[in-house]
Amino acid sequence: MMDAASRIADPDFISFTSSLIGLPVSHIWRGIGSAIFLEFGELRSNGIRRDGSERNPSGQWTLAVEWSWRIEGKRLIWCGSWSDQKLWPRTFACLLGANVKGLSLYGRLPEISLHLSNGLHLLSMMTAEGDPEWGLTQRIGGNSVSISVRAGRLVTNTRPTLLRK
């Protein structure tokens, strides 16, 4: 069941994300297709899958970009969701351990830009119809608070954190 989403203003986004600044990228993993997930801060186990393998851990914060993203260096794009997937692991490895230096929104429809201490930037950039497909989740105690984009506006959801066994 989906909780009702509440609108959030840009200044509230800055306030909400302030505790993310300084945290390291602790884990990065791929979802289906070109979806990527970055976990920040202390990691927590999410248990075991039915096949016996470990699930990806959750961080204090998670940034999910479902598709259409790129990772930029100082003067060029290192790779993106449409790049040869052979480039991804090496680039992802460069993100690990870097601290969050800044987080901002850009564009008429809010896209997200993550600036890391090593000079790399991760940007979402939706290229299909609909809303930008990114979400930022903070886990606090037994709850998670998420920000995403719906109908072209920032919205927030709060729900209990599900503990997997």
In sequence order, what are the residues at sequence separation of 6 or more whose Cβ sits closer than 8 angstroms to the Cβ of residue 117?
98, 99, 100, 101
73 in a domain, yes or no?
yes
Percent of the chain with pLDDT over 70: 93
87 in a domain, yes or no?
yes
DSSP state of 88: H
Q: Would the pTM of this model clear 0.95, i.e. be above it?
A: no
10 in a domain, yes or no?
yes
The whole domain housing 27 covers 6-45+56-160
Residue 165: predicted pLDDT:
42
Percent of the chain with pLDDT over 90: 76
pLDDT tier at 52, thresholds 50, 70, 90? confident
pLDDT at 2 over 90: no
51 in a domain, yes or no?
no
Instruction: Work out how many domains the chain is built from and give that number.
Output: 1
CB contact burial 138-152 (16+ within 10 A = b; e otherwise): bbeeeebebbbbeee
